[in-house]
A = this chain, B = another copy of it.
């Protein structure tokens, strides 16, 4: 299932006496969402009861008030909105509801409805001589309108609790509503010889021991982390692992790229041996990209390879580097020159840790998210365009969607090309220029997400120059980057050094390069034999 942006609200409607208000309230309570009933809102706004409005101003006026109340109810995110049974009669209401999220319609057998409403005076539509006939007619009249709902539950013979539970089950599988259901998202990753899961959600690190228990009680495990992340989360992870039967040891390394050295690598492996890790042990990599690379390489090579579980704590690691099985350390001759492909057995991506990240750390990961949106997902691109500051909003559903959807995209690319021999090239969008900018920077000030953003701007212009794309497509990319607070051009870069770095790109063959470019938002093409001088010209346009 392709993951879609979170619904704003869940609408519960249906015929009278099907329990939509009570069930809506129950659902809201179970999911920790707010609850609004449009009938109550109409009455509160008007200062009159609905029977009074019907009597004094007629049904048409009530329907106007009802539409206004609906717009008001849908105005905030994260609500369960229950609406009167006639709400679906108006097209404009249906459009509003559709845009906001899934529509659930409750029904019941006519006899049961009649029984439920017996003696209820507050139902103006049933103040007639033949209520049973009236119910049957109304049901017939509204059948078409009710068919417009996404989910239908026949409540006949069910308790309201049972109806609520059925609905939550259905909504947890809905591409948009799932985010409101508090369910964790499982993103499966196909790799050679098997499959593993990325579990994305709130509080998943506390579930590590349940989800990845020790093969036998007391088996040793290592949590590799940094002196920045360790104090925040290592004890929580260790406690979760102890619950799962592990005897975990925390191995802390200094924060920063310098820890990706042979020396620190050796210390980590020595620590594994000292802690008694054996072939049945697991290494838990708790941290950002540096920890993932270092601990991943240690897990890949300690005793010729033991199990690895990633617990990424930076946005960049969550949406990019924890997926794909690449591990590496740096040697004197260069960064990432020594490494291994070692697929994790699982990835636990806790979106709550993003709350503690400084803004700069968030920005670091945004470059890859924009890259994925440009190349693969117009819907996510539109979502980012509408809500460029989404990560500052503290909206759990939105975060879970963005992280999970980006994991899903990366996982699909990796599955298609596990050893980085073909289509994985698409992941390089924005990076050819981005890497050159990084190398040309006069000092360490540019974040990865920032150079990638500027790289995307340059490469989107290159696509126009090559006739692969058009001005508007390039402009849209630039606009979303700017809106998200990322640079569309960079300063402090030495032009000559950046140019040299570009010309030394290892992928160049005879002055030409194979590059992924974006012909329209959400789609990529791999363009063969791009002249490197043309790329250099495009790079110049993003240098201040």
- A483-520 vs B: 1/0 string, CB under 8 Å? 00000000000000000000000100000000000000
Query: Measured between alpha carbons, how far is A340 from B302 in the docked complex, in Å?
Result: 8
- A280-322 vs B: 1/0 string, CB under 8 Å? 0000000000000000010011111100000000000000000
Closest residue on chain B to residue A338 by CB atoms: B301
Chain B residues with Cβ below 8 Å from A331 are 266, 269-270, 273
Q: Say yes or no: A262-B273 contact (C-beta < 8 A), given A301-B340, A302-B337.
A: no
Q: Check B334–A273 contact: CB distance below 8 A.
A: yes
Chain B residues with Cβ below 8 Å from A269 are 331, 333, 337-338
Query: Measured between alpha carbons, how far is A151 from B326 in the docked complex, in Å?
Result: 57
Q: With an 8 A cutoff between CB atoms, is A341 at the interface?
A: yes
Chain B residues with Cβ below 8 Å from A327 are 304
Closest residue on chain B to residue A301 by CB atoms: B338
Chain A: residues with Cβ within 8 Å of the partner, total of 30
Q: With an 8 A cutoff between CB atoms, is A278 at the interface?
A: yes
Q: Check A328–B304 contact: CB distance below 8 A.
A: yes
Q: Check B265–A301 contact: CB distance below 8 A.
A: no
Copies in the complex: 2
Q: With an 8 A cutoff between CB atoms, is A522 at the interface?
A: no
Chain B residues with Cβ below 8 Å from A340 are 300-301, 304-305, 340
Closest residue on chain B to residue A333 by CB atoms: B273
Q: Check B262–A333 contact: CB distance below 8 A.
A: no
Chain B residues with Cβ below 8 Å from A270 are 331-333
Chain B residues with Cβ below 8 Å from A188 are none
> Closest CB of chain B to A462's CB: distance in Å?
26
Q: Say yes or no: A301-B301 contact (C-beta < 8 A), given A266-B331, A270-B333.
A: yes
| Residue from B262, B265, B272, B506 in contact with A278 in the complex, judged by beta carbons closer than 8 Å | B506
Q: With an 8 A cutoff between CB atoms, is A339 at the interface?
A: yes
Given A262-B263, A269-B337, A273-B331, 11 extra CB contacts under 8 A = A262-B262, A262-B266, A266-B332, A269-B333, A272-B333, A273-B337, A297-B301, A301-B338, A303-B339, A304-B327, A304-B341
24 contacts between A and B (CB under 8 A): A262-B262, A262-B263, A266-B331, A266-B332, A269-B331, A269-B337, A269-B338, A270-B331, A272-B333, A273-B331, A273-B333, A273-B334, A274-B333, A300-B340, A301-B301, A302-B337, A302-B338, A303-B337, A304-B327, A304-B328, A304-B339, A304-B340, A304-B341, A340-B340
Q: Which 9 A-B pairs have the closest CB atoms?
A: A273-B333, A270-B333, A304-B339, A262-B266, A301-B338, A270-B332, A269-B331, A269-B338, A266-B331
